[in-house]
Structure formats: C-alpha cells, structure tokens
Structure 1
Amino acid sequence: MGLRVVVLVLIMNCFFAFGDCTGGLELGFYTRSCPNAEMVVKMKMNTSMMSDPTTAPAILRLAFHDCQVDGCDGSILLGNSNGLTTETISHKNFGIHKLEVINEIKSSLETMCPETVSCADIIQMAAREAVSLTGGPYMEVLTGRRDTVSTSTKRADCQLPTANISVDKFIKIFKKKNISLEDGVAVMGSHSLGISHCRNFEGRLWPLPDPKMSPPLGRKLQLICKNQTLSDVAFAQNDATIFSFDNQYFIDILSGRGLLRIDSEIARDPRTQQYVYNFGQDTQKFFDRFSSGFLKLSEYKVLVGEKGEIRRDCRFRNS
C-alpha cells in the first residue's frame, strides 16, 4: 500500500506541475503569467488574415518548418546576427514568409508580459489559429516551450524534406517523430491551404506531364510554368479551396490533381491510399487525425524548464 501511495503522489505532482506530463508542456501554461496571451495571438492572426488571406498557409508552413529542424524551438525566426546563419536562406525554405506576423505578436506580448511568452510557443499557437480561423479544427496546443539560441542554414538543408520527397522518406520522417502513418497522411492535409511554386513541381511537367497527373491539370500547369525564368514566381493552387481548411485536398489528389510528387504518391501507394480515401470521404475523421498529428509534431524536441531562453525579440538572441 505504501508504494502505491508514493506512486500516486508522484503522478499527482506531475499532473499539477506539468499539466499532462508532456515533457514540461501543459495546457494553459500562461494562465497566470500572461493570461491574455492566447487571445492576443488569436486577435492578431485574425487581423492579419483579414487583410491578407495568405497569412494562414504561410504561418502553418512556418510552424511545420520550425519543428522539422532540431524541434519546435523558434530557430526559424532567428536572423543573420551574432555570427548566426539563418534557416530561412536554406533553399528548402523557399517561399517562407510572414515572419513579421510572429514578430508583431511578440512585440504586443512583450508590452503586456515582458520576457514571458516564447517565440516557439507563439508560432505553434498562431498555426493553431491559422487552421481554426479557416474552418479547420480548434486544437488544444500545449505551451511552455522555450527558444533556442542557435540556428543553422546547414541544418535546415539537411533536415527539411525536399519538394519531391518520396512516400518511403515521408514515412521515415513521421515515424522518427512517433507520428502514426494515418496521422502523417492527415498532416499532409495542410496542403489544403495555399499554393505551390512551379519550381517545386516543374519536374513533373516536362518533357511530358507525369502520367499520374490528370491530363487537363498537366496541360494547365505547363501553361502556368512554361517560362522557366519565372519558376520562382509562378504558382498554382494546392487544391480547389485554398483559403479553406477542409478535405478538398484529399478529394483532388485521388483524382490526379495533386501538384507535388508526394501528393500523387500518397493517393496511390497501398500503404497510404486508404487513409487518403477515408479523409476524402469524412471531414471529421480528417480533422481528428490532423489534430493528433499536428499536436504530436508541435511537441517534438521542445526546450523546457531552464533550457534555451525567452527571447525579447524573436529575430535575435538576448545576448
């Protein structure tokens, strides 16, 4: 009986100290230290999205790319200073933008609660709002992350997936992060928002369009991307509803209307095809599995406790 009591006490201590014992992250981490933090993030994101609807896909991509390089630690926001080489100049981070939205949120929170809310947390909370405010699920993001003091273009080059990633590599990436294959396919549903530049899929267009691509789409994309000098500028919609977070992406890729290689392959690979079909048929199932995958990814290799720092400005280390 004595041992059981001790174990119960330890569990209860863990619960009250760290929410659900998820590595130091907890729900409502800023409830006392900065009670309006999450509301500020929501309001700022709503304002930015109303003036520029491209904010949502940009911030969602920013969150994923931050987590892919050494974990969700705000490294992607650090600029070229103090001998650092920023991740954003990596060729795999082409098109990353809207960092200023995170900086504006941080500035507001610094006025309210100095050196309290981390940039790493702001990114994940802002991504949650990007999904929710465009019609997707509202996800209970755990907070308590701290910011890294390092960043590296080389590490971004090595750790970020390529635009033509295969299903095999896709599976390895999510397995490494303890994300199930079903949840990983759901996370690909983030392509429901936004666009892709020609440079990321033009290899599927010439000399002839990829036979796995719908012929009408192939011809359309050849017209859009025919000027090779504009491949960094020209783009196409990821799916038919680029400003709504919905399951249209899965419906489209099942019909051969996926832009990227991975879009086409997950719709045909026997390991992933059934999940794509299920999500195309059932929006709620997609939302549930996306939430699961997103939250697991957002908790990947976070800095907590005394590790890292709480940056005063997301672009620079404190010292």
Structure 2
Amino acid sequence: MAMGLKVLLMVVFLWGFCCLFQNVNGELELQFYKKSCPDAEKLVKEKMRKSMLNDLSTAAAILRLAFHDCQVDGCDGSVLLENANGMTAETSSYRNFGIRKLNVINEIKSSLEAICPETVSCADIIQLAAREAVYLTGGPYIKVLTGRRDTVSASKERADKQLPAAYISVDAFIQIFRKKNISLEDGVALMGSHTLGIGHCRNFRERLWPTSDPTLSPPFSVMLQTICINPALSDVSFAQNDATIFSFDNQYFIDIQTGRGLLKIDSEIASDPRTQPYVSAFGHNTQHFFNRFTSGFLKLSNYKVLVGEEGEIRRDCRFRNS
C-alpha cells in the first residue's frame, strides 16, 4: 500500500512538474483567451465585419498583412511596429509596398485594451483578423490557435531579405515554404489568397514591355498594357487579381490556367509540372482548395511564434512597451 501511494505521489508530482514546465514555455491553443478575455475573438469578428462593410478591400489587405508578418522572423506582430527605439519599420521596406489597414489592427487592439488590458497580443489579433477576412468573404472558417506574444524588435533590412519579390521563381517559392515545413500542395493553396484584391502595375509591368510575356493571354495582356501604359503611374495603377476580387473562392486557379495571372509566379505555377497538378485540382474543386488552404494557413500562422515568457504583450501595437 505504501509503495502504491509513493508511486501515485510520484505520478502526481511529475504531472504537476510537466504542467508547470508547459506553462512557463507556453504553447498555442484554441481559445487561449477564453478565461482571460472571453470576448476577444468575438470582438475581432465584429470589428472586421464593420471595417469590411465600410471598405470591401479590407479583407485582402488584412490577409496580406498577416502573411507579411509571418514571413519576416515569424508571426510576431513585427510588421506593426513603427520607427522608434532605433528600429526602422518593416513597412518602409520596398517589398512591403502597398501594405495597409494597419489601423484596423490598431483599432481592434485599442478596443481590447479597454476590456482586457495587456492581455491579447497584436500578433494574435493579426491572425484572428486574417481568419475573419477569409471567412467573411466566403472562405473556410479556420480554427486559429492563439497564445502568441509580440516581438520587441523590427527590421527593414530583414523585411527586404525575407519577403518574397514580385518576380519570385517557382524554385524560390518552393524553398520558402519548405523552410516552414509547408508542403508544396499547401503552398500552392496559400497562393490562392490572391483571389482577393488587386495588383499594382509596378509588380508586373516588366511582363508587358518591351514584349508581352508569352504566357499571358493576348487579350489579357492588351488590357494590362492599357491599364499600365503610363510608367509614372505604376505605383497607383492596378488590375484585379482575378475576376472575383471580393470573394474568397477558387477563381484565381481558374484564371491562371487561361493566361490571366498578374504576377510571374501566378503564370509559372500554372505550367510548372511540380505545381500544375495542384493548380488544376484547386480550379476544379473549391472544397479541396479550402481544405488545403486551411492546412497551409495553420502551418504558416504557427511559424516561429513567441510564447510563454518570450517577447511581451504590447499595450499599443505600434510601439514596444519600453
């Protein structure tokens, strides 16, 4: 009996020790804020819904913001930090051209601070808002894990190096996702985020002059040349990513198979033998695309996160606490 009691006590001790160790180191989980800020995810949804009603382009902007945050040193809210404390904001990187709607995240943070001070991280708000951007435009509902903490640093130079260029090749595209343990199929699905929003002429103008890229549909190429004819307006002139820019659907994959992809990578994944089968499958089956996009999104949003005692919970997403 005494031996049995000792064994039981040892099991309880080890269990408690493991739990303590887990709490110190932290991990992401579903509804991380269910006790500390139970209305957090509901508030994010409501704020996103309101913002999208006022401006339909919000969804595309927030989804891009989430991807760009994760691409630079992981999903840690670094993209929101402004110039301060000797740091140069990531948003000043030329590869972050057109990044916007940071104010939406900042407004959500202010509302959360009013009800749950220093509780919900900016990094989590970005990913939850991106989830709503997808869902509220007709895409899948992604069960995003939370519990991220915010970084205390940002770097324009790291953004310059780590964010993919508009002219990225398929080989480089494959390497980016491989480093994040994201399968090629899921990586191609993540490219489906281009189903929302627009592309500026500066990012694809080289495909139009001095000669048109032969992978572009001739009528599509002529249309783009008309839109982008003035090089001085390349930063403000734009074209739709696909035919349904306010709906999260599989139209992007349908379009790029017929020569209507804006970016070089759009056209190349539709023809490269390593990626073409996935493009075709997603173009034929919306639910299959949604399933793989969800898988890829969860893997990307969990990439190099700060948890436990790492980083901090910023009071203002634009600045570190001290």
TM-score (norm 2): 0.94
What is the CA–CA distance in structure 2 between the aligned matches of 1:207 and 1:161, rounded to whole Å? 24
Quote the Cα distance in structure 1 between the aligned partners of 2:33 and 2:63. Answer: 22
CA distance in 1, matches of 2:170, 2:297: 19
Choose from 204, 207, 227 the match for 1:204: 207
Amino acid at match of 2:155: S
Deviation for aligned residue 1:27: 0.5
Query: Deviation of residue 208 (structure 1)?
Result: 1.6
How is 1:1-319 mapped onto 2 (pairs within 5 angstroms)? Answer: 24-319=27-322
Within 2, Cα distance between the matches of 1:244 and 1:308?
Answer: 36
- Inter-partner Cα distance in structure 2 for 1:317 and 1:95: 24
Q: One-letter code of the match for 2:177?
A: F
Q: CA deviation at 1:23?
A: 6.6
Q: What amino acid maps onto 1:116 in structure 2? A: T
Residue 84 of structure 1 aligns to which amino acid in structure 2? M
CA distance in 1, matches of 2:15, 2:201: 54
> Helix, strand or coil: the match of 2:199?
strand
**Matching residue of 2:3:** none
Contact between 2:91 and 2:156, CA under 8 Å: does it hold in 1? yes
2 CA distance for matches of 1:271 and 1:225? 31
Count of paired positions: 312
- Segments of structure 1 that go 5 or more residues without pairing to the other structure are none
Question: Is the 2:49–2:136 contact (alpha carbons within 8 Å) kept by the matching residues of 1?
Answer: yes
Q: Aligned partners of 2:176, 2:87: CA distance in 1, in Å?
A: 26
**Secondary structure of 2:133's match?**
helix
- Runs of 4+, deviation exceeding 4 Å: none
> CA contact under 8 A between 2:26 and 2:308: conserved in structure 1?
no
Greater radius of gyration (CA)? 2
Report the TM-score, using the length of structure 1 for normalisation: 0.94
Q: Which amino acid aligns with 1:218?
A: S
Q: What is the alpha-carbon distance in structure 1 between the residues aligned to residue 77 and residue 293 of structure 2?
A: 22
Identity of aligned residues (%): 74
Query: Partners of 1:37 and 1:143 in 2: how far apart?
Result: 11
SS in 2 for 1:196: strand
1:173-197 per-position Cα deviation (integer Å, ceiling 9, x unaligned): 0000000000000000000000000
Mapped to 2, the partners of 1:139 and 1:172 lie a distance apart of 25
